[in-house]
Amino acid sequence: MTVQLLKDVAFTDPAGNVISAATFQLINANLQATNNAEFNVSLQDFATVTETSNPYNEMRCKFAYWISETTRTSGTNTPLWLANAEERTEFFRFDPSADIYDGLDLEEKCMKYLETVLLPAMGATIGGE
């Protein structure tokens, strides 16, 4: 398996630092998926059946970034963690059951979320877009 990188990202980090060509990498991810199902028969007529199903999906992911691809490959710069300022943590949570994540593996879902949701919300541009 090859680690996916998102390169050449221009953005302003939560501390206000302007970074012109960052490289991002997924560091940690986990998926919690459950389906709470319930079956009930009415005690009034013993014939009426109620069934419910409540699926729950949540992906948690943590991203690191380097200020440039050169600093990542040279090993001279420790990566920084992308902070989730809203929840005051290093993890981001999202529902991976949306259509845009269909057919993607765990890493691909997180990287797609980074590219299509997180970075645009931060006003980032990717590859000079």
3-state helix, strand, coil in the chain (%, to 5): 20, 45, 35
What is the span of the domain harbouring residue 87?
5-126
* Predicted TM-score (pTM) of this structure: 0.81
| Cβ(69)–Cβ(45) below 8 Å | no
Q: Within 13 Å and on the Cβ side, how many CA atoms surround 66? A: 18
Our count of domains for the chain comes to: 1
Q: Give Cβ neighbours of residue 10 (< 8 Å, ≥ 6 apart).
A: 19, 20, 21, 22, 124, 125, 126, 128
Number of H helices, E strands in the chain: 3, 6
Tokens of 76: 């001279």
Give Dmax (Cα) for the chain.
Answer: 73
Per residue in 42-74, pLDDT (tens digit) is: 999 989 989 888 888 899 999 999 999 999 999
Per residue in 67-123, pLDDT (tens digit) is: 999 999 998 778 999 988 888 889 999 999 999 999 999 999 999 999 999 999 989
